Structure 1
Amino acid sequence: MMSDDEIRFDGRVALVTGGGRGIGRALSLLLASRGANVVVADSGAALDGAGAEGGAARSVVSQIEAQGGTGLAFTGDLATEQSCGAAIASALDAFGRIDAIAHNASTSPELRPADQLSTRDLEGLMRINPMAALWLARHAWPHMVRQRYGRLVLASSAGIYGSFGNAHYAAAKAAIIGVVRCLALEGAAHGITVNGVAPSARTRMTERLHDTAYSRWLLETMAPEHVAAGSAFLLSEACALNGETISLGGGRIARLRLAESEGVMDVAASPESVGEAMPATMADERMFYPDDLSDRSARVARLFCVSEKLDSSASIAVKPG
């Protein structure tokens, strides 16, 4: 039975990347159950990006249709610009619009220390994470601007905090936060919101963790459906958040923020003076949380008793050429 305050997606069209497994599968099923027409995008590739078979995406679409919903499988490789454009085109061709994009797809190659990093793995991670996010946004943007509505949710990771051998994956996921912050500014005037999620869930990736008490707890506790519920809210008309990254997992919801301390002022231009100032610098006192680069520039300028700021929230701040 549907309540008056139930979040629905009737008439909306959502593209869910990585939609054939894990969090993406849970989200695809949830959105379809709430009335969305869902494009389930999943090439079926292995975690290292090798191979591709579209069975996972087609299986989820079959489940959606068996439950009375509407879905469409897209099995192209989203690590290419051409396939990202084709994914958006498939939504437009089938349903006539694109309202929401949830970009969950990512490879997860073997973890390696810095001197053993593979260029292939690094390039693959960058292409399927920030580059695919930007390609999908670029192809969907004119349609969302025209309809004055759009929702993007891009998957970052708690891996950005740092872990041994994970520099390539963390770099790709940290880049997502920059994409979120910038696209949120660009979309605000057009009814487009862009947010990130840092999920913790039982997925193919976390199932590779060493068998420990912690990993067993995580796999038992962190069902992908909890992340799917949070992503669905961020994709809905009910959500007014923009430019945020939300940590989701196991029923816990938290806000991730970029912070900067007010710092130490009047440090002389010498390495020795910088060294002397470092203990106070690292004391984490008097923190502030900039909304964007303009806000950050204004806050720092005030520390120098200057009332000006960089105007970069609603227009490009540098001269062409």
Structure 2
Amino acid sequence: MDNITWLANNTGGNDFILLGFFSQSKDPALLCVVIFVIFLMALSGNAILIFLIHSNAHLHTPMYFFISQLSLMDMMYISVTVPKMLMDQVIGIKKISIPECGMQMFLYLTLGGSEFFLLAAMAYDRYMAICHPLRYPVLMNHRICLLLASGCWFLGSMDGFMLTPITMTLPFCRSREIHHFFCEVPAIMKLSCSDTSLIETLMYLCCVLMILIPVTVISSSYSFILLTIYRMKSAEGRKKALTTCSSHMTVVTLFYGAAIYTYMIPSSYHTPEKDMVVSFFYTILTPVINPLIYSFRNKDVTGAVKKMLNVGPDFHETIK
């Protein structure tokens, strides 16, 4: 109820103005088209991946369940920022009200935090599959997977519930212009006329926990995985395990690297231009890259695509 109260008390004519990418672009119309195409690619790529996973019985495994959750998060993640940004450019109005800004901030913090923990759950799943293959069906049954996924969503929402009210209740007496394309916490805090050092410390500690816990799970899981792979006698099994894990580690590196820069590097190293580029990468490009990584580098997914398109063995022979 408190969150609704502070949103209601802050409504009025003091809207923020999102400057975004387009104000700095030499050809904003072209940039708008490019971002729209990227947005459609992200939505269609993740939607197709979710459809394949749910419609193909061979993909009804814990690994693909978590991949479908990742795709769902990516679809929602990019939808929080891009439609508003494109609509503002088309209509020519760049204002965002304080309640809208708070809602956008809460959603992207929740989805970003949920993705942190989901990537850790995916690493744990790979650890169980490779290091405990015989007990894997029991230890990672459907109920356990649902509990892990629900836990990821819940822990991610804690990030939104903690940082959004604190940031949005700051006194804003400077310029209302946000040098960003969406309401990101560091960009909003720069507009406050109060001392934000305590809040920045709190945000840093919050993000350390949000990143440190999943990173500990991921690094521990992969330490055991690498040890198990090293002991494998089968070259084919070793190759398959490495291929599966490399896809996940690529996604982890891309997502965590950008998040660490945004929330854990001191503000003195930040510039509005750098922040927008990094945010563009992990909020807009990453949702496009993830389905590509998990489809093109995965024989099960490409096999499901071929089956859906009814591509027979004769066609494969002609290609060869």
TM-score (norm 1): 0.28
TM-score (norm 2): 0.28
Q: Which has the higher strand share?
A: 1
